[in-house]
Structure 1
Amino acid sequence: MMMMRVVAVAALVLASVVVGVLGAPPKVSLSAPVHDAVAGAEGVARRVLGEEVALNIVFQEIPPNVADGHDVFEIETVDGQLVIRGNTAVAMSSGLYWYLRYYCNSQVTWGVNDSGRQINVSAQLPVVKPMVRKVNQVRFRYYMNVCTVSYSMAWWNWTRWEKELDWMALHGVNLPLAFTGQEYIWYEFYSSLGLTDSEILDYFTGPAFLAWQRMGNLKYWAAPLDKDWRTSQYNLQLKILSRARELGMVSALPGFAGHVPTAIKRIFPHANLTQTAGWANFNSTYSDVSLLQPTDPLFLQLGTKFYKMLIKAFGTDHVFQMDTYNEMQPSFTNMTLLAESNRVVYQAMANADPEAVYLMQGWLFHESYWTPEHVKVYLSGVPDDKMIILDLNTEANPVFSLTSDYFGKLWIWNMLLNYGGRRGLYGNATDISTRPLLDLHRAQGTMDGIGITPEAIENNPVMFELMLEMGWHATPPDMHDWIAAYASSRYGKRESLTQSAWQLLLEHVYDQPDIDRFHMEMVPDLSSSESRNSNTTALVQAWRLLVTAAVNGSLPITGPFSYDLVDVGRQALLNLWSDVRGMLVAHVKEYNANIDSSPSTAASHVPAIKSLFTLLLDITSDLDRLLGTDVNYLLGVWLESAKATAANADERATREFNARNQITLWGPDGEITDYAAKQWQGLVSDYYVKRWEMMHDATLSALNSSTKIDTSAPKDTLKFEQAWGNENKTYPTAPQADVVKVSAAMLQKYASSSSNYTVSTGFDVPFKDIYQGWTRDVAQLQILCDADPTCVGFNSNGYLKNSLTPSKSSPGTKFYIKNT
């Protein structure tokens, strides 16, 4: 680890020399809105810490860093008074958060009902000597994905948004996306062109799917989008923008990308409209969105009009975000037209705001159409100093490296990490602690920001804490030290068991970016393989340590501690679930291979299939029980938040359908089914368990009739899924049991050793494998072997065996023999 850090620092020094020699391209001219920085920071402190503590902190405004104009903060105790200085309210708030994290063992992360906050501060504030001064390495710290507003923020009210804006300020965000309430403007815009109410409403999707309507992927699905929604969201946006500007944030407003209702052809019969190809298997009722070609003079006319209306309503911080070709491609290959199409997109905003900056996602360039030559020509249509590109998924799939750093355009290094809000513990922390800085100094000035672009938030807080902190580090932090400080701030003090747990998680779980999908939350099947990326054995050990600390009373059970007990336990149960399913798949395969040619051989697999399926369903039900102990894992919170935005019964029904459909079928017939799956109490018991019970019943039917098992989901699965989406059953919005007691019970049941095994060292049994477990944890391998009547033992490499002969010498191997 230390060698990696030394090499990274050396590379930074070398890269800095190269940049100094080559110089930097023109910078985009953007600055924080005029604001009272001290008042903004004081407001954050009051809301986060309370009036009494906040009064003991003095905020002072200072100039930005002289050398580069970047944001800066300083922290010190002067004559017994804590003083935090900065050049903007965001910089001062970042200084406050640095103080909370590293001097007060406190943390502010996402969580329902403030459950992500662990504030360990009193009026007697710790002393800071000598002064701490931090200069941000980049100008921009970006936040949000165009999908985040639908997957996570669809039902937020001002109370929730106010907390998020404070979270942004504390974490240094100065360039957030501001997409709320835009449908109010779009409705007024389309009405001003002469479109009727029905023509406009036939275009808008329901609230949970607006992100994809805005990108030109969808229309009308889960509609209608009622007037109450449009008006309330407009008023909410006014509050969001006002607070963001108080804090000195530059808010990126939506732009005009050219996606329009098809009915616009009635008003402009000669408009050059093309239909985008059907998106994600949606039929033409909901897809095939009309795109007004940027090369049509009407585009500039309408685009300019839209921006003027937008700016009149919301003001401007001069940044507009849009993507004309998200997950689609232009209808032409002519290079001149390609450059012109992007020039016109920019010119429309510039006509309304001469200081406009075009913020574009680089995501579209993953499509095969976009060769480096196409990318270069397309980007050439916009001046270098009027465009910023979001390299949306730099941590896993960067585009900058394929496009010569976007051919001179400024770009922002982003960590995406999450898709659809699916749960999982993953991310490469060491990579995040080094690569942004290395790329910053290698990019010769074209990289000028870092950011986070998750499709959904409120997951993996450790990764997002690290990513947003990286801007304040001139060199990579030592990750063992960093994770130790993280654990201390998360739980309120340094405690040995939780420290050991987080070192394990750092080294063996947060050491790779690949996401494990769990079949538990997918349409059932008994043939496909499981993904296996993280170290499930180390995770189980970390789970033991966290639960032991909780049972011992070593730490108070704060919101973050409760969240982690469930999160790590949830992952441990699902890893075991995946192994059980893997064994089940192996037996089903053998059963089907032999049922016609050797019925007796097939029959020998029947007891194992029945037993393993029972265990599979037991784990799923117990998972639901564990999830029900923490407010962040409850289906009821999502559904009730959706219904709370409605003004009448019809609106409530529409909102609930939107909320249910997004996290399940994602379309009328499962077009993107389970993409936004959630491990939430209630959803697990009433949706995922029910689907697997249907699969279980179909499997038993085949066994009872001695016929082949259909390994795909039963044919009536879709009918069940659609029916669930139209239900109105209510679910709890508060925890249903004690998180420590349930965690301890789950640990005892699924990670405790059995005395039913005899251990032998130095021998193994070749060629008698039932299955190789993902886990190498002895207690969990015992559970797997116990659930399979054909299993007689297993070795320390995770192989479960169906025979003890022939054996062979195998130095270093342990073999666990099941006692009969």
Structure 2
Amino acid sequence: MQMFRALLFWSFATGACEEALVAYTFAGRGSADAIGSVLSRVLGLSTGEVAKAFDLRLVTNCSQAPPSARTQLCFELSDAEDGRVRIAATSGPELAYGTSWYLRTRCNMSFSWNRTGGNQVSLPKSWPGVGQKVTKYRKVPISYFNNVVTFSYSYTWYSFKDWEAWLDWAVLNGINLVIAYTGQEEVYRKTFNAFGVNDSEFSSWSNGAAWLAWSRGQSMHGIGSSCGDGCMPLPLSWMAGQWELQKQILDRSRSLGLVSVLPTFQGNVPPIFRELYPQANISKTGAAWLDDLDPLFAKIQQQYMKIMIQDWGTDHWYETDGYFNQNQGPWARTLRGPEGREGRPWRRAEDVPVDPDAFAHAKAAYESMSKVDPRAVWLYQGWIWRGWGEDKLPFMKGFVSAVPPKHFVMLDMFDEVDPEWNKFNNFGYFGTPFIWSVLHNFGGNTGMWGSISTLNSEFPDALKHAASVAGTGAAPEGIDQNPFYYSFLTDLPWRAGPIDLQQWVQTWARQRYGRSSAAAEEAWQLLLGSVYANETNAQAIRSRGGFIAEKNADGLTALALGGGQATPHESWYKLSDVVQAWGKLNEAAKSGVTETLRYDLVNAGREVLSKVSNRFFAQMINATGPTEVQSAGNSLLAVLADADRLLCGDRGFLASARIRSAKSWAAGNATLEHYLELAARSLTTVWTPQEPKSSTITALCDYANRQWAGQVGGFYTLRHQCYIRQAVEDLSAKRQVNKTAFDACVAGVSYEWTHDFGSEKYPMCEEPTSDVLDISVELFAKYGRPELEARLWV
């Protein structure tokens, strides 16, 4: 194994460019004019004003690369002879990142998602000079972003204006490779039409607008099609609108130099295929999956890709997952493969045999793509390799070796908790290029978490020990959370190794607010040592399997008598640290509340109130008498009411904003408005729509819970009221709390709230309140008491 890796590293190091790992070049993509337009949008300047300040250029190379550079992708900053700031770079994303680096380090600016405070861009009276030339190289060629489910948890209701802002954020942070999943239903509709499936059959088989990620490849179909008022099959108008939006997204991405990874067919077909093609090797029950060794698979793939490329063009990167047999979908199958000899593991990579079945299926999957696009590079989400034992290595080796070298890239997507690349003596996917990636967020939950020290140490460790690291990435299930974490993450490809975190925090706080503030710096030092803590955080996340620690599970959104996803768990950090940080942010805000500080005030207060609510939630569900239930329940409801008022202070926490975005796609059609509003309300609460007159809580309820204004004060408050009423009634009669009756109440109020079209019964704030600092200071005085922490879990 060590010799295998050494040879691989030698070939990589001597190549000194990205083609040594992947048969693709990122250099030369995008245009300086497009990056100038990015600056015009984020700085609020005309393109002429941008051109007067900045000399933006794409070049073929920079100054000689340092030994630590593994690529030729770079940017250079210098002072131009005409007084402008010159930024030269090898592609659009390097050019944008280099400009962003200048704006951050010389002008104290920052760039984050619109719903996490947005951009802080206070313009200087004159643009500072660079001084000595600055040259920086990427350590790895790829900076990746997105998860296939992010398109449901975060992007579903995006307009092109939203995507424009997101793409600007991406290139300013150096992202150069993104999954682009929008609008594929229209391509599939046309594809399946050619194989005998009509529009009605296809629409009913697809999930509704909010759940498309799971009908695209995860064995869930028809969600939102027939569930009472507000439900209907996926509208053709939605498919067409999303298809048009994808064209705009791809055109803009290509102008910026962002490489878009398009989806391809992975075998899931409408069940009518069983009747249309009875001889095909399709699973007999449940979701219909077509084995890729069946000739029909390649025919569908080629038809689909021809339509897709004709409609949208291609950057030659494609994403598709699974094992490509007809048994199960890609995320559900329990693999059974050839067993290694017990007690005698393989000592070298070359000794591991190739599983012929895995080889055949992967080969067929890739060839179905490459027959249409011979330059195809296959990106594969590596989630399904998790939890393997050494006995499964032949299957993996067979799978990855079936694709031509440099045309298969693995996304190792949970490296902050459970990396795969370093298992089995750092086998590194048998030399297959992989992206070191974090997942970090499940369901788009809104809590504060993520170990900065893990990012600081473990990516450099991967670079040191694995020659096949092709990039860094993030695959969160949802965005619009934890800008502190993602700011650090997107700089990783440009760093030679670990950095001084305390110094970084000081710089980050200054850039975040556009000014020096001792109070703000102290706040973020406290947060670095608590919610974003060092090894305490990392160990806690690992001990909980990552999944639990990286999800909201607090009294604000908890479900009494609920399951694991809804049950509060003890935090890995001292609440008093976060309380102090909140107080320091309040202090910093006395000098002025920027949009970034507005978001951080609300977010820090939300984190504190969510943990404070655990105490009262625990008291409520553990009470043995009606008086105690009522008292604890009233205290809990008071926290929810205060949290809802605080959450109204920033647009990033408004449920109403998401609902408005969803309804905007209806173009005034009242029926479609109800359909889209129901979808928006359901996914982040009950997940699948609550059925009318049902007494059962939905199976995935709370998976995607959000601590948003309107949801906390409405949906979650209603559920807690169900418990209080039921518990008071039952405990007064000296009997156990009736879970069946409680579930029926929760199901009823869930249906009522998710169908409250126009918020007629349960109003919510429509715009951010103007007095956010006053509210934050008031609630800090009420809840920022040190004795609360000692009693939090009583």
Give matches, 1:549-564, under 5 Å. 549-550=588-589, 553-554=590-591, 556-564=592-600
For 1:341, the equivalent position in structure 2 comes to 361
Residue in structure 2 matching 1:574, options 593, 610, 634: 610
> Which whole-Å deviations, capped at 9, do the CAs of 1:340-363 have from their partners, x for residues lacking one?
111111001100000001110001
Q: Structure 1 pair 145/103, CA: closer, same or farther in 2 (3 Å)?
A: same
Query: Contact (CA 8 Å) 1:295, 1:337: kept in 2 or not?
Result: no
Q: Which moved more, 1:310-319 or 1:573-582?
A: 573-582
Correspondence 1:329 to 2:333: yes
For 2:34, the equivalent position in structure 1 comes to 40
Give matches, 1:145-164, under 5 Å. 145-164=147-166
Correspondence 1:689 to 2:717: yes
For 1:233, the equivalent position in structure 2 comes to 242
Q: Structure 1 pair 331/273, CA: closer, same or farther in 2 (3 Å)?
A: farther
> Which whole-Å deviations, capped at 9, do the CAs of 1:221-275 have from their partners, x for residues lacking one?
1132212111111111111111111111211001111111111233322111015
In 2, Cα distance between equivalents of 1:84 and 1:33: 15
In 2, Cα distance between equivalents of 1:201 and 1:526: 34
Residue in structure 1 matching 2:272, options 243, 263, 273: 263
| Structure (1 or 2) with the greater strand fraction | 1
Q: SS of the residue aligned with 1:55?
A: helix
Q: SS of the residue aligned with 1:736?
A: coil
**1:726 positional shift:** 2.2
In 2, Cα distance between equivalents of 1:653 and 1:451: 37
**1:331 positional shift:** 8.1
Correspondence 1:741 to 2:764: no
For 2:449, the equivalent position in structure 1 comes to 426
Please tell me the residue identity of whatever aligns with 2:769. Q
**1:327 positional shift:** 1.4
In 1, Cα distance between equivalents of 2:7 and 2:406: 24
For 2:349, the equivalent position in structure 1 comes to none
Q: SS of the residue aligned with 1:220?
A: coil
In 2, Cα distance between equivalents of 1:212 and 1:576: 35
Q: Structure 1 pair 380/681, CA: closer, same or farther in 2 (3 Å)?
A: same
Correspondence 1:400 to 2:400: no
Whose Rg is larger? Answer: 1
Q: Structure 1 pair 275/432, CA: closer, same or farther in 2 (3 Å)?
A: farther
Q: Which moved more, 1:83-92 or 1:24-33?
A: 24-33
Residue in structure 2 matching 1:56, options 45, 53, 58: 53
For 1:124, the equivalent position in structure 2 comes to 126
Q: SS of the residue aligned with 1:664?
A: coil
**1:378 positional shift:** 2.2
Query: Contact (CA 8 Å) 2:12, 2:21: kept in 1 or not?
Result: no
For 2:748, the equivalent position in structure 1 comes to 719
For 1:302, the equivalent position in structure 2 comes to 300
Please tell me the residue identity of whatever aligns with 2:279. H
For 2:728, the equivalent position in structure 1 comes to 700
Residue in structure 2 matching 1:521, options 543, 550, 557: 557
Q: Structure 1 pair 239/317, CA: closer, same or farther in 2 (3 Å)?
A: same
Please tell me the residue identity of whatever aligns with 1:253. L
Correspondence 1:452 to 2:474: yes
> Which whole-Å deviations, capped at 9, do the CAs of 1:703-726 have from their partners, x for residues lacking one?
433334457844321222123222
> Which whole-Å deviations, capped at 9, do the CAs of 1:737-794 have from their partners, x for residues lacking one?
5110110110111125xxxxxxxxxxxxxxxxxxxxxxxx23665xx6xxxxxxxxxx
Query: Contact (CA 8 Å) 1:433, 1:476: kept in 2 or not?
Result: yes
In 1, Cα distance between equivalents of 2:42 and 2:770: 28
In 2, Cα distance between equivalents of 1:691 and 1:654: 23
For 1:380, the equivalent position in structure 2 comes to 401
In 2, Cα distance between equivalents of 1:509 and 1:24: 41
Query: Contact (CA 8 Å) 1:307, 1:348: kept in 2 or not?
Result: no
In 2, Cα distance between equivalents of 1:208 and 1:650: 16
The count of residues paired between Structure 1 and Structure 2 equals 715
In 2, Cα distance between equivalents of 1:129 and 1:33: 27
Q: SS of the residue aligned with 1:274?
A: coil
Q: Which moved more, 1:56-65 or 1:158-167?
A: 56-65
In 2, Cα distance between equivalents of 1:536 and 1:434: 25
**1:305 positional shift:** 2.0
Please tell me the residue identity of whatever aligns with 2:460. L
Please tell me the residue identity of whatever aligns with 1:291. W
Please tell me the residue identity of whatever aligns with 1:748. A
In 2, Cα distance between equivalents of 1:56 and 1:799: 56
Q: SS of the residue aligned with 1:455?
A: coil
Correspondence 1:470 to 2:489: no
> Which whole-Å deviations, capped at 9, do the CAs of 1:40-97 have from their partners, x for residues lacking one?
2212111211223553111122224665443101112234321111111111100111
Residue in structure 2 matching 1:138, options 126, 140, 150: 140
Correspondence 1:539 to 2:578: yes
For 1:185, the equivalent position in structure 2 comes to 187
Give matches, 1:588-627, under 5 Å. 588=623, 591=624, 607-627=627-647
Q: Percent identity?
A: 29
For 1:728, the equivalent position in structure 2 comes to 757
For 2:197, the equivalent position in structure 1 comes to 195
Residue in structure 2 matching 1:168, options 153, 167, 170: 170
Q: Structure 1 pair 22/739, CA: closer, same or farther in 2 (3 Å)?
A: closer
> Which whole-Å deviations, capped at 9, do the CAs of 1:660-716 have from their partners, x for residues lacking one?
111111124512111111111111111101110111111222343333445784432
In 2, Cα distance between equivalents of 1:696 and 1:476: 51
Query: Contact (CA 8 Å) 1:627, 1:634: kept in 2 or not?
Result: yes
Correspondence 1:249 to 2:258: yes
> Which whole-Å deviations, capped at 9, do the CAs of 1:447-466 have from their partners, x for residues lacking one?
11001111000100111111
For 1:102, the equivalent position in structure 2 comes to 105
In 2, Cα distance between equivalents of 1:33 and 1:649: 48
For 1:497, the equivalent position in structure 2 comes to 519
Please tell me the residue identity of whatever aligns with 2:164. E
In 2, Cα distance between equivalents of 1:535 and 1:244: 42
> Which whole-Å deviations, capped at 9, do the CAs of 1:559-605 have from their partners, x for residues lacking one?
1100000000000011111123234455x2xx3xxxxxxxxxxx6xx
Query: Contact (CA 8 Å) 2:656, 2:766: kept in 1 or not?
Result: yes
Please tell me the residue identity of whatever aligns with 1:388. V
Q: Structure 1 pair 24/675, CA: closer, same or farther in 2 (3 Å)?
A: farther
Q: SS of the residue aligned with 1:108?
A: coil
**1:366 positional shift:** 2.1
In 1, Cα distance between equivalents of 2:558 and 2:268: 33
> Which whole-Å deviations, capped at 9, do the CAs of 1:110-148 have from their partners, x for residues lacking one?
124x94111022351122211221101111111100011
Q: Structure 1 pair 329/24, CA: closer, same or farther in 2 (3 Å)?
A: farther
In 1, Cα distance between equivalents of 2:757 and 2:256: 41
Q: SS of the residue aligned with 1:474?
A: coil
In 2, Cα distance between equivalents of 1:413 and 1:397: 11
Q: Structure 1 pair 186/395, CA: closer, same or farther in 2 (3 Å)?
A: same
Q: Structure 1 pair 331/203, CA: closer, same or farther in 2 (3 Å)?
A: farther
Query: Contact (CA 8 Å) 2:27, 2:91: kept in 1 or not?
Result: no
Q: Structure 1 pair 136/35, CA: closer, same or farther in 2 (3 Å)?
A: closer
Query: Contact (CA 8 Å) 2:602, 2:776: kept in 1 or not?
Result: yes
Query: Contact (CA 8 Å) 1:580, 1:615: kept in 2 or not?
Result: yes
In 2, Cα distance between equivalents of 1:748 and 1:36: 51
Q: SS of the residue aligned with 1:358?
A: strand
Query: Contact (CA 8 Å) 1:53, 1:121: kept in 2 or not?
Result: no
**1:609 positional shift:** 4.0
Q: Which moved more, 1:72-81 or 1:518-527?
A: 518-527
Q: CA RMSD in A?
A: 2.5
In 2, Cα distance between equivalents of 1:59 and 1:181: 33
Q: SS of the residue aligned with 1:413?
A: strand
For 1:93, the equivalent position in structure 2 comes to 96
Q: SS of the residue aligned with 2:744?
A: coil
Unaligned runs of 5+ in 2: 226-232, 323-328, 339-354, 542-548, 690-696
Q: SS of the residue aligned with 1:84?
A: strand
